[in-house]
Amino acid sequence: MTETNLRLLKDIDEPGLHTIDVYERRGGYSALRRAVTELEPDEVLEQISEAELLGRGGAAFAMGMKAGFVPKGDTDNYMLVNADESEPGAFKDRVLMQKTPHLLIEGCLIAARAIDAVQAIIYIRGEYEHQADILERAVAEAYERGYVGKDILGTGWDLEFVVHRGAGAYIAGEEMALLDSLEGKRAHPRMKPPYPANVGGGVYQGPTLVNNVETLCNVPYIINFGVEEYRKLGTEQSTGTKVVSVSGNVRRPGNYEVPMGVTCREIIYGLAGGPPEGREVKCFLPGGSSSPALTGDEGLDLRFDFETLEAAGSMLGSGSVIVVDDSQPLVPFALRLAEFYRHESCGKCVPCREGTNWTVKMLERIDSGEATPMDFELLAQVQTNIIGNCLCLLGDSMAMAVGSMLEKFRDEFERHAEEARARNEAALVEQSAPELAAAPSIGPM
Ligand SMILES: Cc1cc2nc3c(=O)[nH]c(=O)nc-3n(C[C@H](O)[C@H](O)[C@H](O)COP(=O)(O)O)c2cc1C
C-alpha cells in the first residue's frame, strides 16, 4: 500500500488529529459543508449509491440502497453508528475512533443529512472507554463549531448527536439487538421485518440507518473527491479501500489500509510480515472469527475483496485477518472460538444456545482425548444444523469457522484426539503400575 492509496488512515499518526483544529486544518468538514450547502439530500444519497460503498461491518450491504429505504418527510429518522466492535480479531474501528473521531462524525453527519435525520447516535462498545471519551470531546467540539445542533451551518437543519456507551456484549453489535440495548433493554435480536430502516423498525420505532464506523468514514472522501475518484481504488464490485486488522501468527500484526482486490498474500506476508521464521501459513480466517477458514494453499493468492472471498467459500466480513501458522494445533483454537460464541450467545434461539454449547463440549472431548469416532460426525452435523436456522448470525458465525476447520483439517482433529487418548492411557498406566510404565518396551517378536 503506497502512501497515496491511503484514505482513512492517511495522516492517522498526525499529532492532535483527534482535535477539531488539526482536523479542519487538514481539510476536515469541507465535505459536510459541501453536502449541506451545495447539495440536496437526494444528491448526497445519489453519490453514496453511485460509489457503491458496501458496508464494512460484516454483511457487505450497499449503504446507498439501505439509506434509500429510509422514508423521508413525515417521520423522525435516526442515524445510528454501530461502534460495538467486539468480534475477536477486529480492532479497526477502535483506531479510527481514537485517532480520527471527526472523520467518523463528519461521515455520520453527511449520512444523517442524506436521510434527513433528527438525531445521530454512536453506540460504542462499553469497554472502549478511552475512545468514548475522545468521541464525546469531539462531538462537543463539533457542536461548538456549528456542525451539530440547531441551524447547522446556517441551513436551518437541526440535528442532535449522542454518544451512547454499550453494555459490553458481542451480541449488542448485531443491529437488532443493538436497538434493544439502546432502548435500555437486554440486547436480544428481533425478528425482521420490520428492518431498522422501516417505520416501526428502528430507534424508538423511527426509521433508522445503521452503519458501521468504517463504512461512514468513507463518506467524506466520496463527497469531497467524487464518485469516479473514489472508485479508482478497489474492484468493480468492492469499491474503495479496506482497513484490515491482521492478527495471529504474523510478525507485524496491526491495522493496514489496502485497496480492495490486493491478494491475501500481500496483506499477510507483504504488510504483516508473514508468520515467524521457518513457519508457513496453515490457514487463515479472512473475515474475522466468524468467517470460514481458508488453507494457506487455497487462500493466499486470492484477491481480498467481497466477491472473490465469497466465491471461494469464505467471506471478507469485517476484514479482520486471523492467521494460524503450522506450529499451532487447530483443536484448541477452534475450542477457544467456540467458547467465545457460547459465552456471547444471548440464548434467545435454540440452535445458537444449544449448538454453541454442544460444540464446546464436543471440542473439549476431542481436545482431552475422550472423543469417540461418532463425535466428529456429530460435530460437523451440529454446525450444519446451526447455519441458516438462527434468529441472527451469531450462531452461524461460530458454525462457519468451526465447521470449515473441521472439514478442511479433519485428519488433524482426529490425530489430535488420538494423541490425547494415547497420553491419557500412558498416564493411567503410570498411575496404576509405575513399574510397568518404567519397563523397557518389548520390541517386535
Ligand atoms: C453477532 C453479530 C455482531 C455484530 N457486531 C457488529 C459490530 O460490532 N459492528 C458492526 O458494524 N456490525 C456488526 N454486526 C453487523 C450488524 O448487524 C450490521 O450488519 C452492521 O452494523 C451494518 O453496518 P454496515 O452496513 O455499515 O456494515 C454484527 C452482526 C452480528 C450477527
- Rounded to the nearest angstrom, the distance between the alpha carbon of 77 and the centre of ligand 1 is 20
- Residue 294 is given by DSSP the state E
Interval 365-408: pLDDT, tens: 999 999 999 999 999 999 999 999 999 999 999 999 999 999 99
Closest ligand 1 atom to 214 CA:
26
Q: What is the band of 433 on the pLDDT scale with cuts at 50, 70, 90?
A: confident
pLDDT of 442: 58
The whole-angstrom separation of Cα 363 and Cα 336 is 9
The cell for 211 is 452503519
Residue bearing the CA closest to ligand 1, atom 18: 175
Mean pLDDT across 247-253: 98
pLDDT of 431: 85
Q: Which of 340, 341, 349, 287 is nearest to 312 (CA)?
A: 287
Domain boundaries, the chain: 3-230, 241-325, 330-423
> CATH top-level class for 3-230?
alpha beta
Residue bearing the CA closest to ligand 1, atom 14: 174
First CA to last CA distance, the chain: 64
Give residues with Cβ within 8 angstroms of 391, minimum separation 6: 189, 190, 191, 348, 349, 352
Closest ligand 1 atom to 393 CA:
31
pLDDT of 4: 72
- Rounded to the nearest angstrom, the distance between the alpha carbon of 411 and the centre of ligand 1 is 34
Q: What is the band of 5 on the pLDDT scale with cuts at 50, 70, 90?
A: confident
Interval 27-55: pLDDT, tens: 999 999 999 999 999 999 999 999 999 99
Interval 256-291: pLDDT, tens: 999 999 999 999 999 999 999 999 999 999 999 999
pLDDT of 418: 97
- Rounded to the nearest angstrom, the distance between the alpha carbon of 175 and the centre of ligand 1 is 6
Matching fold, domains 3-230 and 330-423: no
Q: What percent of the chain has pLDDT over 70?
A: 97
| pLDDT over threshold 90, residue 246 | yes
Ligand 1 pocket, mutate which of 78, 174, 216, 320 (most atoms under 8 A from CB) = 174
The whole-angstrom separation of Cα 168 and Cα 261 is 34
Residue bearing the CA closest to ligand 1, atom 2: 174
- Rounded to the nearest angstrom, the distance between the alpha carbon of 135 and the centre of ligand 1 is 20
- Rounded to the nearest angstrom, the distance between the alpha carbon of 150 and the centre of ligand 1 is 30
- Rounded to the nearest angstrom, the distance between the alpha carbon of 198 and the centre of ligand 1 is 18
- Rounded to the nearest angstrom, the distance between the alpha carbon of 308 and the centre of ligand 1 is 21
Mean pLDDT across 77-88: 97
| pLDDT over threshold 80, residue 3 | no
Mean pLDDT across 137-159: 97
| pLDDT over threshold 70, residue 1 | no
Instruction: Provide the CA 25 distance to its chain's centre, in angstroms.
Output: 31
Would you call 199 helix, strand, or coil by DSSP?
coil
pLDDT of 445: 44
- Rounded to the nearest angstrom, the distance between the alpha carbon of 292 and the centre of ligand 1 is 17
Ligand 1 pocket, mutate which of 80, 82, 337 (most atoms under 8 A from CB) = 82
Q: Ligand 1 pocket by C-beta < 6 Å: which residues?
A: 55-59, 61, 82, 84-86, 170-171, 173-175, 210-212, 215, 392-394
Closest ligand 1 atom to 61 CA:
25
The cell for 413 is 482433529
Domain 330-423 has CATH 1.20.1440.230: yes
- Rounded to the nearest angstrom, the distance between the alpha carbon of 174 and the centre of ligand 1 is 5
pLDDT of 376: 97
Closest ligand 1 atom to 83 CA:
9
- Residue 194: asked if its preceding bond is cis (omega within 30°), the reply is yes
Average per-residue pLDDT for the chain: 96
- Report the topology of domain 241-325: Ubiquitin-like (UB roll) (3.10.20)
pLDDT of 294: 98
Residue bearing the CA closest to ligand 1, atom 30: 174
- Rounded to the nearest angstrom, the distance between the alpha carbon of 156 and the centre of ligand 1 is 33
CB of 396 within 8 A of CB of 386?
Answer: yes
Closest ligand 1 atom to 125 CA:
8
Interval 83-128: pLDDT, tens: 999 999 999 999 999 999 999 999 999 999 999 999 999 999 999 9
Closest ligand 1 atom to 216 CA:
26
